[in-house]
Amino acid sequence: MSELSQTTNTVLMVRPGKFGFNAETAISNNYQSKLDLSSDEVQIKASTEFDGFVEMLRDVGVDVMVFQSPETPVTPDAVFPNNWIRIAHNGRLDLFPMLAENRRLERNPQLVKELQEKYAITSVDKSLLSHENNSKFLEGTGSIVFDHPRKRAYACISPRTNKELFDSYCKSIGYEAISFEAKRDDGQLQYHTNVVLAIGSRFALGDFDRFGSEDQKQHVMNTLSENLELISLTADQVEKGFCGNAIELKNSKDEAVWVMSITAWRALTAKQQEQLSSNAHIVKAPLDVIEKVGGGSARCMVCEVFTAQS
């Protein structure tokens, strides 16, 4: 087992400049929906949810860097930065290829510059971006869920997660690549891995019953259960409750902090709530509008920063 930590107490979050329903991403994201609200009302409510979430994280001792997304160009999903950027333990900053063309506009050079100024960024790797020209995509920690101490990476293959690219990327960073198909209850492919799987320092939450073939399912569960306790999620908990879209962080006192939406927390069983809260603080953020319109939840809004400040 490596000495890499599974959790960090530092995260990047992007305050939405022009949040709204993204028709381009809705093609592959079944979780998005339109609300009977004006675009201004959606923006105001999403901004309020975002600010409240940041405050809750800071209150429990998580260090949050907030970057304000500009209003132009219009980037309706900018609040989900984990899909295009990853900041690793060694200071490497990777940029990722994304399926929706309007999401590629989220790769903001000013944000990258500010990260380089604030943190010990050793390199900025843009090599993956050329794969967009060949319609091969790998959407950051939406596509990949990491088990850092064991240097393993998990990905459910979908239009947004290319297996060849996933395998190649894992090889480049020295991680074992474990891929599988994950299906919704209606048989459609799940669009992102972090919708169906969350890996913490003690627990792994997953919709294991819908993980592809029996061999794939068993391999995922066997590798995870070597050192982690598995919490099995149902299709409803994932598809209606966003329970898989959670993340474990830590605070300034090195205490565990499980982060999710209030929707996800309420969808967990009493036993599951008890398991997660047994050795961790719980952050339960109200994210109703962001979840319904954007189709993503708490984990999608958080980009982990594993390197130190400069």
Q: What are the angstrom distances between the C-alpha of 90 and each of 3, 66, 86, 87, 307? A: 12, 22, 11, 8, 6
- Does some domain include residue 309? no
Residue-level pLDDT at 2: 81
Task: Report if residue 1 sits inside a domain.
Answer: no
Cβ neighbours of residue 239 closer than 8 Å, sequence gap 6 or more: 30, 31, 184, 185
Residue 236 lies in a domain: yes
Domains contained in the chain, number = 1
Per-residue pLDDT of the chain (310 residues; tens, 9 = 90+): 789 999 999 999 999 998 877 677 767 666 766 777 888 898 999 999 999 999 999 999 999 999 999 999 999 999 999 999 999 999 999 999 999 999 999 999 999 999 999 999 999 999 999 999 999 999 999 999 999 999 999 999 999 999 999 999 999 999 999 999 999 888 889 999 999 999 999 999 999 999 988 999 999 999 999 999 999 999 999 999 999 999 999 999 999 999 999 999 999 999 999 999 999 999 999 999 999 999 899 999 999 999 999 8
How crowded is residue 234: how many other Cβ atoms within 10 Å of its Cβ? 16
How far is the C-alpha of 270 from the C-alpha of 267, rounded, in Å?
9
Answer yes or no: is 124 within a domain. Answer: yes
Print the domain residue range for 237: 10-304
- How far CA 135 is from CA of 102, 161, 288, in Å, comes to 15, 10, 32
| pLDDT score recorded for residue 24 | 74
